[in-house]
Amino acid sequence: HALPDLTAVRLTEASADALEAGKGRVRLRLTGVDFQFVTKVEFESVADALAEKVAARFVPLKGPAPELELEVDTDRLRQGAHRLWLTRADGEVHAFAAMVHGPAPRLTGGPSMVRQDGSAQRIRLTGERLEEVERLEFAGGTVQWLRELREAEVRLNPQTLPGTSWELTAWVGGRNLPVKWPDGIRVLPPAVRVVSVQRAARTAGSVELLDSEVDAGVAVSLAVKLSGPLAEAPKVARCGQLERADRLSEGEWFLVLRPEGVDGCRVSVEVEPGGAEIAVGKLVRRPDLTGFTLSGEAAGENQYWGELMGSGLERIVRVGWNERDGVPITELPAGEGGRQKLRLVVPWPAPAPRAPLYIWLRGETAGRRTNARL
């Protein structure tokens, strides 16, 4: 019986891709010749001349066999070029090239969200070894892979429905078959827009609150009208805690938000993940004024010492009779809680009887009207 020529031996495409270093024992298939007279199969590193050959295990064949299934311990193989040695029953040895791959690229961080709105959208992929990906495909539309940026430009087909998930196919350099990433893309409905926002009347307080501001720690009620329905209730608030989110009708919601955070923080509610936001206002902490007196003690030309009572007085840095002209505060408030007292210098005379006092808060350039009057 003539012995087969081994020069046509090759790994199947799937086996060539499955040959990854560090994956433990891996089953591979050889094809291309009759393997019944093959007695030994070994892997040899090309780069590491000192590395020992790694023998593959297989069941000896007793008849003609167009394929040979073998098992190799890839924990003993290093990533890189190898020679695959086959020994025939008559002692003849033949070698052919085989590449031992590193781990395949993979995605992390969950599916990428793409909206069905007819436009091309950029998504940023996060994962490992994405620089090895040469192109991407998916059945729900077209995708252009921008490898240097690790971004993909996706355009959905018109018939791709919101709520569906799609496998992302990655073609990787040096591999025969693509890597499959299940649930790589998730399709969302068109972005919901904020049509209108109605805010409940706010507590007046003793210090002016601008329309663009909200009090820290004081709940804000909102009636919100959106351009369409949401898949789920809003959950994310910035600079605050969302205490209620009640659906009134399709596209209409009643929200209760309690602002929290540092002064100046922009309070908002995210309508849906990555979507529009409901701007609520800038967070401020207003002093609470409970009294104001002016003494007969002169503090300079046309100036007299006075005293403010209340809480949060440490935030006041200037006082005056309008929003432009103020006298700096030179002392710290005494007392604690709601019983603070602050000595201050007030210009005199006042512009009118019972004129309201204006105060400047730290970091602000304009005075705020108060209900403090003589």
- Pick the closest to residue 45 from 104, 99, 92, 102 (CA basis): 99
Q: For the domain bounded by 194-284, which CATH number is listed? A: 2.60.40
Kindly report the CATH number that applies to the domain delimited by 106-188.
2.60.40
CA pair distance 307, 183, nearest whole angstrom: 66
d(CA 220, CA 284): 13
| Vertex 357: Cα angle to 342 and 263 (nearest 5) | 70
User: In the chain, which residues have pLDDT < 70?
Assistant: 1-4
Exposed/middle/buried for residue 115 (C-beta within 10 Å: 0-12, 13-18, 19+): middle
Could you read off the pLDDT of 116-138 as tens digits, one per residue? 988 999 999 999 999 999 999 99
Per-residue model confidence (pLDDT) at position 272: 84
Per domain, the residue ranges of the chain are 6-100, 106-188, 194-284, 288-369
Residue type, 243: E
Rounded distance, CA 257 to CA 371, Å? 27
- Which of 100, 95, 56, 96 lies closest to 81, judged by CA? 100
What are 270's two structure tokens? 């995210």
HSE-CB of 279 using CA atoms within 13 angstroms: 7
What is the pLDDT, as a whole number, of residue 49?
84
> In the prediction, which pLDDT does 5 show?
75
Q: 153: which 2 tokens? A: 């430009």
Cβ contact 218:183 at 8 Å: no
pLDDT of residue 3: 66
Question: How far is Cα 4 from Cα 36, in angstroms, rounded to an integer?
Answer: 9
pLDDT for the residue numbered 229: 86
Mind listing the pLDDT tens digit for each residue in 76-106? 999 999 999 999 888 889 999 999 999 999 9
Burial 243-257 (b: 16+ CB within 10 A, else e): eebeeeeeeebebeb
Question: Do 106-188 and 194-284 have matching folds?
Answer: yes
Let me know if domain 6-100 sits in CATH 2.60.40. yes
